[in-house]
Each structure stands twice: as structure tokens, then as C-alpha cells.
Amino acid sequence: MPILRSSKKRLRQNKKRRLRNKSVKSYLKTITKKVKNAKEKSEATSLLNEAYKAYDMAVSKGVIHKNNAARHKSRLTKIINTKFKPTEEVSEVTPQPEVNS
């Protein structure tokens, strides 16, 4: 246990910050899971926007580094784009008439 008054104050501040950071990180994990488990594209895009906002807020508060947030946002976007990729219709190939020379 700290003896100095400034050390006691520092301990109180660190405890508050640790709890706040823990809460924010937990929310980031939750919103990431929600985005990954989205069933429809409209739901996924709205959750993705929410996740972007959450990651940007975490960066502005100093909870995570900006590159960490950028990496997570990029990965989430990539997952959504591959999951809800428009199915390309396979067009039937018409055989070309053979040319006999």
C-alpha cells in the first residue's frame, strides 16, 4: 500500500481508468462478435457503423492504439464484404460454330 499522498491518489486514478478501459474493451469485443454473426446485410452494415464509432471512440480516449483500431475495422469490413458478396450469375456459354478451313 502506498504511503505518500500522491501515490494514493495515483492508485485511485489507475483503478478508475483500469475499470473504464476494461468496460470499453469488453464492448469492442461484443460489437465485433455481433458484426461477425449478423444474418442480413442491412443489419451487418448498421452494426459495422456502430463498431467503427466504438473503435474511434476507444482511440480518442486512449484505450487502444489507432493502428490497432484500423486493423480491426479493416478486418471487420473484409469479413462483411466476403460474407455478403453478391452471388454472380453463371452465364451459359454458347458454343461457337467451328470454322473448317
For residue 64, give the CATH number of its domain. 1.20.58.110
Confirm whether 17 is domain-assigned: yes
Count CA atoms closer than 13 A to 1's CA, side-chain side.
0
Rounded Cα distance, 60 and 35, in Å: 22
Rounded Cα distance, 22 and 43, in Å: 26
Query: How many separate domains does the chain show?
Result: 1
Confirm whether 30 is domain-assigned: yes
* Residues 84/41, Cβ–Cβ less than 8 Å: yes
Dump pLDDT digits (tens) for 51-94. Answer: 999 999 999 999 999 999 999 999 999 999 999 887 665 556 66
Confirm whether 101 is domain-assigned: no
Dump pLDDT digits (tens) for 20-62. Answer: 999 999 999 999 999 999 999 999 999 999 999 999 999 999 9
Confirm whether 33 is domain-assigned: yes
Residue 41 lies in domain: 8-79
